[in-house]
Amino acid sequence: MSLKPVSATPSSETPPILRAAGPVKAPRAQTASATPTFPFTAIVGQDEMRRALLIAAVDPSVGGVLVFGDRGTGKSTAIRGLAALLPPMAAVVGCPYACDPGRPAEHCHRCREQVELRAESVPVPVVDLPLGATEDRVVGALDLERALTRGEKAFEPGLLARANRGFLYIDEVNLLEDHLVDLLLDVAASGVNTVEREGLSIRHPARFVLVGSGNPEEGELRPQLLDRFGLAVEVSTPTDLPTRIDVVRRRDAYERDPAAFCAGYAKADRAIRKALTAARARLPALAVPDATLEAAARLCLALGTDGLRGELTLMRTARALAAFEGAETVGLDHLARIAPSALRHRLRRNPLDESGSTARVARAVEDILGQ
């Protein structure tokens, strides 16, 4: 795909004290591993989880996806399989943050200084944030090699820089250390990573879709971080015999011959990728009727959700779902299907109601939406 050069526009933002010296390497493209990733379309069941991940891929503004459930239910497999489905994106050549050439207001300081920018097509980054990562590894730090060999103070971008405009995945997110949680909250709210240490003063864009997975038996997620996830999905171990047999059969076939197994699902994966591209193009023109907005507000009022994030998330996710399915308008059926994922983690605990949050949302959907 050919991309035209885009001229940068000046910004009134105060430039950082430190500027990277010399040429900066572009972010590494994801390389194919020796063993191909288990296909997203080969995952058996777990429809809610797959739908939530696809919605986040269509519209990153939904706020990320939290997947909680039993061990061995395909949480990590689905999230990593999504990376292979994402259509490529346009990025400024040589930019360590993969700035969007079509959005100069969101450019890093390096791209703003360029008179003319060249663009290229690159894979959407899907970056793993390991639990044991240090703060320097996450936010970036002084490039020690250049400091020792050349005597230059240069910034070495971290995981947040690599994840810009992509996905940041945290497995066992409920076990993440508190200081990293605080850091992620600040960056997720502002979309900018600020580094002030060792004589460095750097600000760079860090807008990403946060995806977390975990087992609730190992601990709860901090409420502040939980609120940052647009969608929360519950997954469980299949209880019917045919599904369990199908899961085992597919996994065994994949481990015996990964290349042949993945080839069998290549056509289905291409169809999903094509649908994602079409949905992104359709999304800006897709209107949400007043009746649908009113129904979303009534639903949130009935459930007693705090603030207005519930309504905003319902609107965005229902619109993304409608765009992915090729619908001409956002209807009540879209709200009904996405309501559990968008609202279950926003409910206050009711000591007089022993039912879980999912059951409470289902009752409200039936009462308010009639579905």
Integer-rounded Cα Rg, in Å, for the chain is 22
Please check whether residue 47 is in contact with residue 214, taking contact to mean a CB–CB distance below 8 angstroms: no
Q: Is 71 a catalytic residue?
A: no
* Active-site residue, from 137, 309, 337, 363: 309
Q: Name the strand (E) or helix (H) holding 78.
A: helix 75-83
**Residue 189, number of CB atoms within 10 A of its CB:** 9
CB 118 within 8 A of CB 92: yes
For the beta carbon of residue 191, count every other beta carbon within 10 angstroms. Answer: 12
CB-side neighbour CA atoms (13 Å) of 157:
24
User: From the DSSP assignment, how many helices (H) and strands (E) are in the chain?
Assistant: 15, 11
Cα gap 260→266, rounded to integer Å: 10
Q: What are the residues facing 196 on neighbouring strands? A: 201
Closest listed residue to residue 93, CA positions, set 72, 69, 111, 81: 111
Spell out the long-range contacts of 141-145 with Cβ–Cβ below 8 A and sequence spacing 24 or more.
Answer: 141/195, 141/197, 141/198, 141/200, 142/197, 142/198, 142/199, 142/200
Please name the amino acid found at residue 214.
G
| Nearest C-alpha neighbor of 316 from the set 25, 16, 62 | 62
Instruction: Return the closest-CA partner of residue 175 out of 205, 137, 213.
Output: 213
The residues carrying an active-site annotation are 309
